[in-house]
Amino acid sequence: MSVIVALFLSVLLIFIFISLRIYLILPTRPSAVPQTSILQSDRVVELTPPENSHVLMILGSGGHTAEMFSLLSSISPDTITHRTYVFSSGDIHSAKSARAFENSLAGSYTKKSNEKIGYRLLEIPRARRVRQSWITTPWSCLMCLIGCMNVLRGGDLEGMSVQMRQCWEGRRFPDVVVCNGPATAVMMVLACYIYKFFGRCSTRIIYVESFARVTTMSLSGKLLLPLANRFLVQWPQLAEIYPGVEHLGFLVS
């Protein structure tokens, strides 16, 4: 009997510890929704961290990618010196869009920027393909999660030159992850929280709901609502339905 009691108490203590740890790493957002009318350039500041930061952007096929680069159109390479783009396997459109976007930034460096780090463009397994069987979805999601964890810890840097590894040293984990709806975002945020649980990173999550979501949120949005440090919607009616989200007007053009 004493063995059973000891085992029960051990399990209970582990459960309490895990619960407290999860509670401590979950973000706290005000329930009130601020209604503001700020300029597009100011909105970008709302989404970016201080200078010399590392931001990871999650690209989705089609409209998700187009909205992401519209959202990032005013970023300064002086501020976001380390940029990581993540796209799902087979999404050639997103990869090409990222390269084109970076080419457009090539001439926007100023004298203030002393380190032209450039960017990383990384491919990970797709979380779920269109019309994929739900039976095989858990396996593909697991593979996607492993890929996300490898990206976050900078596993790809091991194969790069010593100079590039030095440039990224200390910034392997992103300061901010920006996502706007693709299923891959759920796996990436989950990977962030696994590292957060063990104290490996303090990455902030910013979620921007798609412009196409007018009256209801996407499944990704509903799943990530309690996990995002800032959750932005582009239609006021969504802000009225879901507490804790922010409406700053249209964030894409």
Q: What is the CATH number of the domain that holds 43?
A: 3.40.50.2000
Q: Are 225 and 243 in contact (CB under 8 A)?
A: no
Whether residue 252 lies inside any domain: the answer is no
Q: What is the mean pLDDT of the chain?
A: 81
Whether residue 222 lies inside any domain: the answer is yes
**Closest C-alpha among 55, 68, 132, 131 to residue 95:** 68
pLDDT at position 158, please?
83
Q: Is residue 97 predicted with pLDDT exceeding 80?
A: yes
Q: Name residues whose C-beta falls within 8 Å of residue 47's C-beta, 6 or more positions apart in sequence.
A: 71, 176, 178, 206, 208, 230, 232
pLDDT at position 31, please?
55
Q: Are 145 and 190 in contact (CB under 8 A)?
A: yes
Structure tokens at 211: 């412009």
Q: Is residue 32 predicted with pLDDT exceeding 70?
A: no
How many Å apart are CA 175 and CA 7, to the nearest integer?
Answer: 40
> pLDDT tens digit string along 114-157?
455 668 999 999 888 777 788 888 899 999 999 999 999 988 88
Whether residue 35 lies inside any domain: the answer is yes
Task: Give the DSSP H or E segment for 67.
Answer: helix 63-71
Whether residue 253 lies inside any domain: the answer is no
Whether residue 37 lies inside any domain: the answer is yes
pLDDT at position 145, please?
95
- Residue 89 CB neighbours (<10 A): 15
Number of domains the chain contains? 1
Domain with 120, as residue range(s), is: 2-247
Q: Are 54 and 61 in contact (CB under 8 A)?
A: no
- pLDDT tier at 240, thresholds 50, 70, 90: confident
Q: Name residues whose C-beta falls within 8 Å of residue 36's C-beta, 6 or more positions apart in sequence.
A: 248, 249
Q: Which residues pair with 206 in a beta bridge?
A: 178, 230
Report field, pTM of the whole predicted structure over 0.75? yes
The rounded percent of the chain whose pLDDT value lies above 70 is: 84
pLDDT at position 46, please?
43
Whether residue 67 lies inside any domain: the answer is yes
Structure tokens at 108: 């926007």
